[in-house]
Structures are given as C-alpha cells and as structure tokens.
Amino acid sequence: MTSTLPIVDHPSAAREFVTNEPRSHWHDDSLWFVRSKRDKQAQSIPEWEYLREQASTIKNHTIAKLPEYLQQFEANATRLGAVVHWAADAEEHNRIVLELLRRNDTLRIVKSKSMLTEECGLNEYLIDNGIEVVDTDLGERIVQLRGETPSHIVLPAIHIKKEEVGDTFHQHLGTRAGESDPQVLTEAARGHLRGKFLSGEVGITGVNFAIADTGGLVVCTNEGNADLGVSLPRIHIACMGIEKLVPRFQDLSVFTRLLARSATGQPITSYTSHFHGPRDENSELHIVLVDNGRSKIRDSKTFRESLNCIRCGACMNTCPVYRRSGGHSYRATVPGPIGSVLGPAKNAKAHKSLPFACSLCGSCTDVCPVKIPLHHQLLAWRKVLVGKRLVAWNKRMAMKAASFLFRNPTLFAAAGYFGRVSLKVLPKSLTHNRFNTWAKDRDLPEPPKESFHEWYAKNRPSGAATASKEERS
C-alpha cells in the first residue's frame, strides 16, 4: 500500500495557500496567537522546564522498554474486563473495527477526535462498507461536512473562516444563509450532533494516554464529545498507537500539565476522562493497539524520539513554514515539523520533500513539551534522503556547488561582490519569477554596500589584530 502513495512536492502543494496572501497571513496570525498563549502558560509555571525534562525521560524509558509495558498493559486491561486487539498495520486495524461493528449489527457510529483513525483511513473504510460515521468534535465535523481532512491535529478546521463555516452549515444543517456568528453556528452544530449521539450504536475514541500499571485509558477533550459518545452506546472501541503508553499512573500528571498548555494555552483540557474497563456488565470496551510502522521507527536510534510525541500541535503553532503554507500542503495525516519527521519514516519516497519544508530555526524543538529534537531530526532526514538519492538532481548539484564555493574564500568573496552588484541592477522579474519557487512569498533583502569582511577591516578597533596575535602567542 505505501509504495503506491503519491509523491508529495510541498512547494507545489503549498502554492495555492501561499499565494492567497489574506488567508495565509490570517492563518499565520491565528496560530501565532495560540503560540503566544502557550508561552504565557509556560512562563506561569516555575518548574516548566523540569516538567519537560521529566516527560522526555519518562517517554524515552517507555519506548526503550515498550514490549514489556505493552504486555503489562494488556494483562491489566484484560483483568479490568476490556478486550485487547493487536493490529500490525492500518488495514488490520480497520478490519478489526469493522468486524466488531458487524458482530453487533452496527450501522451508525459516533467518533471523537482520533488522529490514529485518520492515519488508518477508518472513516472512508467504514463508509465504503455501509457504516454511517459521524465525527463529533466540532472542528472534525466541519471538515467532514466539507469533504476535507483536518489541517491541524488539535485545531482541525483552523484553515476555515467563520463565513465559510456558515456556508457549510447553511448547506448541510439548514442555518440561515450568510450566518457567521460563532455562537449561532455552535448552537446549530450542538443540536445537529445531539441527535447523532442519541442514534449512535457504537462509540469510537482515540487515546491520549494508556497506563501500563493500571490498564486504564485517558482521553482528553475540550467539548466533552468523547464522554457523551461512549456513555450512551453499549460498546466503546478505543483505537491507540502503541507509543501512547506511560508506565505508571503517577506519571500521568506530568503529561496532563504539559499537554493543554502546549496545545491551546489553557491550564488543562476541559475533560480529562479515565476509562478502566467496560462501564458495566452489559457494556464492552475494546482496545485496538496499532503498530503501523511504529516499531520500525523505534528501531532507529536517530528518529526513535519522534515516538515521544503527545500530539499537542505546539510545533505546528510555532513553525513559520506551517503557519504560512497550511496543513494540507503536507499531504499527510500529521503535518508540520513532527509530520515531516514521521512522514518519511512511513514512506521516504512519497514524503521526501517534507524535511526540506523547514527553515531549521529550531523553534519547534524549543516548544516541544517532550523535548523531541525536531530540527535536528529534520536535518538528519535530509542526509538520509540524499544517501537514498531521493533528492532532486538540481538540488544535489546546487549543494555541491555551494560546498565548493564555501571552501574557496577568494571565489566566495568574488561571488558576494557580483551578487551585491547584480541585485542592485537586475529587474525583479529576473530574480522573482515562476522558475524561482523560493521567491513565491518571499523577498530578498536590500543588498549591502559592502561585505562584512570589508566593513570589519575598516571598523575594527585599532590594535585588535596585534592583541589577537599576542593572545595566541
């Protein structure tokens, strides 16, 4: 299946979003607002960096001993009455869920936000097999009604303006044409979804954390839709990646303090729901543990830490490339910096452009609550892709030319001189055109009158050279 994935060219995929300047800037500002809220929350906790360090240590330990903790979790979850299923890949995950639904003659399900089910393509699979699937998270429901995919793992409809939501609700929910008041639209969605909740026969959720020593699950939401979605139906199916484990119940508090603050800039999610076995003797809890390439990543010393991700989206909120190009330009379930690491791990050829959709500014690493060295991993992926000869020939030649230039000071100085002169006299149409994809939403700075070396030679303090020689001697 993975070998047939279309090859993603991020610059081409981002072109429409980037060239729509009003939308691009609005999207940029919206996400930076969330990033600013995150900063205020982080600064309000003196032990913030200690929590990050603890979270990183706990996740590194868990991933290192993952087989043991998975077995412990299965034993404890089974003891509580849950049924644990194992899925090697997306196809097996989808078959397991469909089999459970058919066994219970299910025609309608309600589903809370789950990036794993998005990764596995569960919605489309179930719909193709005659099951009605209703996403109950408001943002997810909006993109579902529009026939789109989420553009952000926490804010799935962040790319859609309220006026466009109004048009969608007018078409599908019958709201007044031109209605764009968020309160009115939210009330309309609430009434629409309440009927779906009442008619849902099975509730499907994702999992934020699973606790090995108790066998319990934790689901974090701000809308309470996961709680309602599994409280009314008799059957709850929880789908989780195998990396979601934490060893002990006491470890959970570290992550709940970090998650919401990093994701949306709030102290804690509105609902942090714990599930320990089925609701009662007439109910069922099924837990589907999914690998789908995670073991392969775990085997990599370079990229193993990417499995520490708790899906907060902080790296997306701060990334200048993501903020300006939008989540759909990545053509991946998880976009942004973490998606640019996970995508090539799943299929290097299909996602070969994503590690280059990065300025290497390091902001993603700075905000990651579990301290994944994201920009280092993206740089490492570039090296891997070059080794696999998956980087375009023109980019490889450009890098070789740059390497030769940087190793020859005289040539470098000459190139700098001609570059400064050329930028002053050449018309913009020659430097900013359709052949230069870099310049689609960027401009070059005004060329300086002289190089840094020339400036330093004229302005350095008198005697600096002599003092430097004396220090070396």
Predicted local distance difference test score (pLDDT) of residue 154: 97
Residue 5 confidence class, pLDDT cut points 50, 70, 90: low
pLDDT at 102 over 90: yes
Determine contact, residues 298/304, Cβ cutoff 8 Å. yes
Q: Helix 409-425 vs helix 393-406: angle between axes, to the nearest 10 degrees?
A: 120
pLDDT at 157 over 60: yes
Predicted local distance difference test score (pLDDT) of residue 273: 96
Q: What percent of the chain has pLDDT over 90?
A: 83
Q: Where are the domains of the chain?
A: 22-297, 302-388, 409-459
Q: The tokens of 424 are what?
A: 């002053």
Determine contact, residues 152/264, Cβ cutoff 8 Å. no
CA gap 258, 253 in Å, rounded? 9
Least confident of 12-21, 73-82, 144-153: 12-21
What confidence tens digit (pLDDT) does each residue in 176-225 have? 999 999 999 999 999 999 999 999 999 999 999 999 999 999 999 999 99
Predicted local distance difference test score (pLDDT) of residue 441: 67
The residues, any chain, with a CB within 8 Å of residue 302's CB and separated by 6 or more, are 377, 380, 384
CA gap 294, 339 in Å, rounded? 14
Q: The tokens of 172 are what?
A: 């599908």
Q: Looking up tokens 């606790």, which residue turns up?
A: 211
What confidence tens digit (pLDDT) does each residue in 272-300 have? 999 999 999 999 999 999 999 999 999 99
Q: The tokens of 385 are what?
A: 């892709």
Residue type present at position 143: V
Predicted local distance difference test score (pLDDT) of residue 435: 76
Predicted local distance difference test score (pLDDT) of residue 80: 97
pLDDT at 472 over 90: no
pLDDT at 266 over 50: yes
Average of pLDDT values for 385-408?
90
DSSP assignment of 123-149, as one string? HHHHHHTT-EEEE-SHHHHHHHHTT--
Residue 3 confidence class, pLDDT cut points 50, 70, 90: very low
Determine contact, residues 38/314, Cβ cutoff 8 Å. yes
Predicted local distance difference test score (pLDDT) of residue 470: 46
CA gap 25, 211 in Å, rounded? 41
Predicted local distance difference test score (pLDDT) of residue 473: 44
CA angle 245–248–252, rounded 5-degree value: 75
Average of pLDDT values for 228-253?
97
The residues, any chain, with a CB within 8 Å of residue 178's CB and separated by 6 or more, are 166, 170
Predicted local distance difference test score (pLDDT) of residue 428: 80
Predicted local distance difference test score (pLDDT) of residue 208: 98
Q: In what order do the strands lie in the sheet with 108-111?
A: 83-87, 284-290, 235-241, 202-205, 108-111, 132-135
| Fold designation for 302-388 | Fumarate Reductase Iron-sulfur Protein; Chain B, domain 2 (1.10.1060)
Q: Looking up tokens 């008198």, which residue turns up?
A: 462
Residue 6 confidence class, pLDDT cut points 50, 70, 90: confident
Q: What percent of the chain has pLDDT over 70?
A: 96
The residues, any chain, with a CB within 8 Å of residue 5's CB and separated by 6 or more, are 347, 350
pLDDT at 388 over 50: yes
pLDDT at 463 over 80: no
CA gap 113, 429 in Å, rounded? 46
For the domain 22-297, what is the CATH superfamily, name and number? NagB/RpiA/CoA transferase-like (3.40.50.10420)
Please give the mean pLDDT across all residues of the chain: 93
